[in-house]
Structure 1
Amino acid sequence: MSLQQIITKFIFKLPDGLLVRMAGGKPVEVRGRVLEPQLQMVAWNGRNAPPMSSLEPEIVQAAVKEQLGMLAAPIEPGVTTENFTIPGPDRNEIPVRLYKPSGQDSSVPLLVYYHMGGGVVGDLETCNAWCSILASVTKGPVLSVDYRLAPQNKFPAGIDDSITAYEWGVRNAGKYGAPEGMAAVGGDSMGGNFSAIISQEMQREHKPLPVYQLLIYPAVDMVEEFPSRTEFGETFSLSTDTMNWFMEQYLPDDFDMSDPLLSPGQTAELEGLPPAIIITAGHDPLCDEGDDYAKRLKSAGVKVTHKRYDTLPHAFTAFTGFSPGSRKACLEIAHMVKDLVSKL
């Protein structure tokens, strides 16, 4: 651990009131939801950073990797990892990381997981600690997928890799101590988008459905203008400006934003989709559309577990190393998965 990381961790352990005084003097509150002080401090420290939209994509990709690395938590005790590649859809190789817990339960299905990042940033390290929490709590294997990023690889490269990885997981789950011929999907932000899309696409193509879908602060609708996109448009850690920039990098010109491979929330008929755990963050431009998708799935007869964490921002699964609320939420979500699997 570097000296800077040691100092950072010390600061985050200061009393909440002192952190707030150091970070602007008053709590950050929107819609009556007060941001956790540790996260307010991170937002305050980054208040003068240039917007992502003003930088070249390669610079943003490197900067996000460095910043998240500074704040990253270690993986959970008793979880082992293995890095390898699987065949991609375009003669490419998809890097993946397999997480296996000690005392693995052979009845728990493989979870194929997709990291956040708007389809533009992120990699296997982005969700490293979080995937280990999932494996440790559920006692099942987790396969994290390093899908291709834009703008180097525009749509549909990322979602194509993700679909391919899910289908590979279904075929190979038994090799990793999980039930054969099945897998679940999960992800946060863009990874949640991919997971919702895969669940719908498998249904449309009459292919094996995911056992369940874990959607964490998912981006599900690029068409509707939900109020949270304005009310939380300048909040930490995701702004509406950054979301728009992500889409500019991710999509070809003049793309139809209602395409089901981009906006699963635009799908009218949701009956028969896999059981869903949908998690939203209170300080997040995406919170309204995630809450709305949970309600629509419930109305369609889908089994849904839904919770919004009002003190947390977008991307909180990456903040478990310094944010008490983020770690508590992630442990709770992992137990939601464990409970759902036990009832399948």
Structure 2
Amino acid sequence: MSLQKFIVRTLLKLPDGILVKMSGGKPLAIDGRILDARAQLLAVQGARQPSITTLDPATARSATSEGLSLLDGAPRSGVEVQPLHVPGPGGPLDARLYLPAGSTGPLPGLVFFHFGGCVIGDLDTCHTFCSMISDIAGIAILNVAYRLAPEHKYPAQVHDAVAAYQWAQANAEDLRMIPGRIGVGGDSAGGYLSAVVAQEAKRQGFAAPAVQLLIYPVTDWGWKGGSMESCADVYPLTAEIMEWFGAHYLNAPSEADDVRVSPMKEPDLSGLAPAIVVTAGFDPLRDQGKAYADKLKAAGVSVTYACEDSLPHAFTAMTGVIPAANAACEKIARDVGAALR
């Protein structure tokens, strides 16, 4: 463990009251919710750093990776991890297969896509979380790194996500997955891509996912108001960063009206895969995630919805320093296991 990581983790073990005093003297409250004391201290410290909007994408990727390494928990021991490549429309995609310790025979599976606004992030971004889901849910996880913008703009990421899911279905036996019991999931941009995969299955007529796991998903890239305003400046995702992501990802702002960019805009959500939708209380994306869950329910889709009121965006990568984030991730894993089993 590096000295910096040791200092951060030791500091965040202090009692809540001390952490709040170090973060301005009073708890941060927005929309009737109170931010976790550890997340509040991280927000104060993060505000002192340059925003990734001041960086070029390559530098932003490196800086984000370094920052997350200080916060994420250790991968679950015993989970078998196999590096592999998934054929993609633009070339091979890096991937990792996670299998529970001691598992035999085919298992339910989940194709997972990481967060990062379609601009930053990689397989390491959700490495610990994928190992956690595999361990707790007892399922096989295929963690896929899709192409990133601005080197590859929309619709490259959508094409990669659809291709990866279809490849997993076609190669289920080799992946030790059960055909027909394979879901799709992700957080933030990964949740967005998962929602699109579920919709594309209906539009294109390929096998629907057994479940769609949407963790604080982007469902409307043009969303205004609500939590996009009340949580506009909350660490680690701000409204300004969302605009920066969109500017790099989209070829033109008008593309936000495309249902493959904003799945919320699809008028008919009936017949889609059962959904697990999880939002974070301190997140500009909170309201659009809830709105999509409500729209799915109204269309007759089975939906399990939860808002982790005290947590910020990207809590899936904060399991090493925020106990509430770790507990939330463990609950998500249990829900996924129940849905697929």
2-structure distance, mates of 1:242, 1:201? 27
1:168-207 map, 5 Å: 168-180=167-179, 182-207=181-206
Is 1:316 aligned to 2:310, yes or no? no
Q: 1:231 deviation in Å?
A: 0.7
Q: 1:241 deviation in Å?
A: 0.3
Structure 2 residue aligned with 1:249: 248
CA RMSD of aligned residues (A): 1.3
Q: 1:107 deviation in Å?
A: 6.1
Q: 1:57 deviation in Å?
A: 1.6
Change (3 A) 1:244 1:101: same
SS of residue paired to 1:102: coil
CA contact (8 A) 1:191 1:218 kept: yes
Residue identity in the other structure for 2:82: E
2-structure distance, mates of 1:180, 1:280? 29
Is 1:29 aligned to 2:29, yes or no? yes
2-structure distance, mates of 1:50, 1:308? 29
Structure 2 residue aligned with 1:339: 338
CA contact (8 A) 2:183 2:340 kept: no
Q: 1:177 deviation in Å?
A: 2.1
Residue identity in the other structure for 2:235: F
Deviation per residue, 1:217-238 (Å, 9 max, x gap): 0000123424110011111111
Deviation per residue, 1:142-189 (Å, 9 max, x gap): 000111111111111112111111111101122122213552100000
Is 1:52 aligned to 2:52, yes or no? yes
1-structure distance, mates of 2:192, 2:45? 29
Structure 1 residue aligned with 2:160: 161
Change (3 A) 1:82 1:22: same
Structure 2 residue aligned with 1:304: 303
CA contact (8 A) 1:169 1:182 kept: no
Residue identity in the other structure for 1:233: A
Structure 1 residue aligned with 2:261: 262
CA contact (8 A) 1:76 1:132 kept: yes
Residue identity in the other structure for 1:41: L
Q: 1:203 deviation in Å?
A: 0.3
1-structure distance, mates of 2:222, 2:68? 30
Q: 1:106 deviation in Å?
A: 4.6
Structure 1 residue aligned with 2:130: 131
2-structure distance, mates of 1:105, 1:244? 45
Q: 1:51 deviation in Å?
A: 2.2
CA contact (8 A) 1:186 1:213 kept: yes
Deviation per residue, 1:244-303 (Å, 9 max, x gap): 000001111354211011000001111100000000000001111111111111111111
CA contact (8 A) 1:105 1:140 kept: no
CA contact (8 A) 1:171 1:181 kept: no
Q: 1:103 deviation in Å?
A: 3.7
SS of residue paired to 1:301: coil
Structure 2 residue aligned with 1:8: 8
CA contact (8 A) 2:99 2:139 kept: yes
CA contact (8 A) 2:114 2:126 kept: yes
2-structure distance, mates of 1:224, 1:6? 39
SS of residue paired to 1:260: coil
Q: TM-score, normalised by structure 1?
A: 0.96
Structure 1 residue aligned with 2:75: 75
Deviation per residue, 1:286-330 (Å, 9 max, x gap): 111111111111111111100001000100000001100000000
SS of residue paired to 2:81: strand
Residue identity in the other structure for 1:236: Y
Paired-residue identity, %? 41
CA contact (8 A) 1:199 1:274 kept: yes
CA contact (8 A) 1:223 1:257 kept: yes
2-structure distance, mates of 1:230, 1:287? 11
Q: 1:6 deviation in Å?
A: 1.3
1-structure distance, mates of 2:236, 2:325? 13
SS of residue paired to 2:69: helix
Structure 2 residue aligned with 1:150: 149
Structure 2 residue aligned with 1:109: 108
Worse-superposed segment, 306-315 or 253-262: 253-262
Uncovered stretches (5+) of structure 2, i.e. residues with no partner: none
1-structure distance, mates of 2:105, 2:40? 41
Q: TM-score, normalised by structure 2?
A: 0.97
2-structure distance, mates of 1:58, 1:103? 39
1-structure distance, mates of 2:55, 2:177? 43
Q: 1:108 deviation in Å?
A: 3.8
Count of matched residue pairs: 341
CA contact (8 A) 1:182 1:211 kept: yes
1-structure distance, mates of 2:107, 2:235? 35
SS of residue paired to 1:280: strand
CA contact (8 A) 1:109 1:173 kept: no
Worse-superposed segment, 292-301 or 110-119: 292-301
1-structure distance, mates of 2:84, 2:246? 29
